[in-house]
């Protein structure tokens, strides 16, 4: 490894740590940081079936937004899952992304219809299940001006539209000093 390569790697690592969680979803390609990185499904993971039906609330400078059909991507294994919802409006120039990390997987025993679960920074786990939400927002994807992990996440699980599906409604609350902002989302999925 050359010194130049080592310095480039060191700089990239330092920049990613300084920029926060949203940076992990994009990488520089062809001189442009606005190109989404190519995603591959990690070994042992699989793409899951699901459909999002709501993302609304306030996050950073993007306030009072509602999107009835956000983009959704779910990847998971039997022990972990990631659910990413993206919503944007190019006319009014806003973009919001939530990334739920579900340690324990979407098939976890605690995620049965009727469940109401609350995850906080001081109590991040319920029966071995952890759910956290990274939120990013800004004028356009991936130009984010807000990058933060929610302080509190509530999860409600109900039956889905088919016998083998469930619907999850989550609320992510972000505390900014005395003010708080909240984002709510919902999606249907097949637990595996």
pLDDT tens figures, 46-77 = 667 789 999 999 999 999 999 999 999 998 88
Q: Please state the pTM of the whole predicted model.
A: 0.79
pLDDT in tens for each of the 192 residues of the chain? 455 444 343 333 333 334 457 765 543 323 334 444 444 555 556 667 789 999 999 999 999 999 999 999 998 888 999 999 999 999 999 999 999 999 999 999 999 999 999 999 999 999 999 999 999 999 998 889 999 999 999 999 999 999 889 999 999 999 977 889 999 999 999 887
Number of domains in the chain: 2
Q: Same domain for 45 and 34?
A: no
Beta bridge partners of 26: 36
Dist. CA 91–CA 22, nearest whole Å: 23
Q: Same domain for 57 and 92?
A: yes
For tokens 């679960």, what's the residue?
117
Q: Same domain for 91 and 125?
A: yes
Dist. CA 176–CA 178, nearest whole Å: 6
How many degrees, rounded to 5, is the angle at CA 131 between CA 28 and CA 173? 85
Q: Which residues constitute the domain of residue 6?
A: 1-38
Q: Same domain for 81 and 132?
A: yes
Q: Say what the pLDDT of residue 46 is.
A: 60
Q: Say what the pLDDT of residue 21 is.
A: 73
Q: Same domain for 121 and 152?
A: yes
132 and 149 Cβ atoms separated by less than 8 Å = yes
Reading the block at residue 100, the tokens are 């739920």
Q: Same domain for 57 and 97?
A: yes
Q: Same domain for 84 and 129?
A: yes
The neighbour count for residue 8, using CB atoms within 10 Å, is 11
Phi, psi of 111 (to 5 degrees): -95, 50
Phi, psi of 13 (to 5 degrees): -65, -45
């Amino acid at each position: 490894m050359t010194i130049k390569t080592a310095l480039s790697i060191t700089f990239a690592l330092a920049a990613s740590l300084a920029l926060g969680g949203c940076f992990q979803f994009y990488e520089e390609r062809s001189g442009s940081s606005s190109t989404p990185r190519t995603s591959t499904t990690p070994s042992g993971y699989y793409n899951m079936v699901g459909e999002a039906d709501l993302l609304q609330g306030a996050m950073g400078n993007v306030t009072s937004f509602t999107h009835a059909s956000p983009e959704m991507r779910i990847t998971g294994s039997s022990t972990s899952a990631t659910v990413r919802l993206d919503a944007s409006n190019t006319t009014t120039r806003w973009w919001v992304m939530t990334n739920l990390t579900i340690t324990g997987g979407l098939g976890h025993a605690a995620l049965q219809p009727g469940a109401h679960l609350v995850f906080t920074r001081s109590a991040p786990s319920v029966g071995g299940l952890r759910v956290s939400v990274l939120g990013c927002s800004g004028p356009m994807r991936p130009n984010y001006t807000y990058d933060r992990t929610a302080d509190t996440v509530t999860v409600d699980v109900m039956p889905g539209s088919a016998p083998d599906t469930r619907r999850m409604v989550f609320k992510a609350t972000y505390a900014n000093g005395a003010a708080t902002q909240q984002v709510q989302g919902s999606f249907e999925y097949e637990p595996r």
